Amino acid sequence: MAIAAVAVSILSVVGVLASQAYYRSVISDAFGISEDETRQRPTAITSESHASPSGNSSESDAGTAARPFPLGTTASMGPDYEVAVVGVKLDATAEVLAANRFNNPPEGQYVLVQLHVKYVGVGEGNPWLDLSPTFVGTDARQYDAHECNAVLAQGAMDVPTLETGGAAGYQVCMDVPEGAANGAKVFVERRLSFSDKTRAYWALS
């Protein structure tokens, strides 16, 4: 019964994600709006954002894929969250395997991403449900943190529900092919949100 309950829960989450993507596509097609047009630009809220790795772009496109923030820059993710990618360990396989004896070896190598979040919305927030960190490899593929099933020393699910002003730090992991990690990027966006399409990128070097 427990296994059946877990399976039903997973299928429910997959169904919700699929329906959200479908309805977003229908709404975008109906109004002639592309995904890039509906996504808001991220806004840096620390002075570190001015130390951009690309000096030829305007400040208005800071935090985009073409001009990612430096690590440590805090970005405003819509009305509810302030998020910073504060550190990335590209070869964290040994650390992840040591965190829990039931963690399986990766197909490639484990990457650990350290985040700091602050909930600034009205009500309450659960970062592990609300935010979706994704690793963009140099192989032009995306690796979602929610697909990494390893138990971490500072896992996202260990973060308690945050009230307005509450902050927390946690780790997420990705299983990335060897050779696709160096020079890559990480982005964070809101999960399951129609009204807020903010996505912010951080460079790893």
Asked if the model's pLDDT at residue 75 lies above 90, the reply is yes
Instruction: Give 169-198 pLDDT, tens digit per residue.
Output: 999 999 999 999 888 999 999 887 655 568
Instruction: Give 5-49 pLDDT, tens digit per residue.
Output: 666 666 665 565 555 544 444 334 443 434 444 455 677 775 443
Residue found by looking up tokens 């964070």 in the block: 188
Residue 65 tokens, joined: 């894929």
Asked if the model's pLDDT at residue 113 lies above 70, the reply is yes
Average pLDDT score, the chain: 81
Tell me the C-alpha distance between 89 and 120, whole Å. Answer: 28
Query: What letter does residue 67 receive in the DSSP assignment?
Result: S
Count of CA atoms in the C-beta half-sphere (13 A) of 105 = 2
| Helix, strand, coil in percent for the chain, rounding step 5 | 30, 30, 40
The alpha carbon of 88 is separated from its chain's Cα centroid by a whole number of angstroms, namely 13
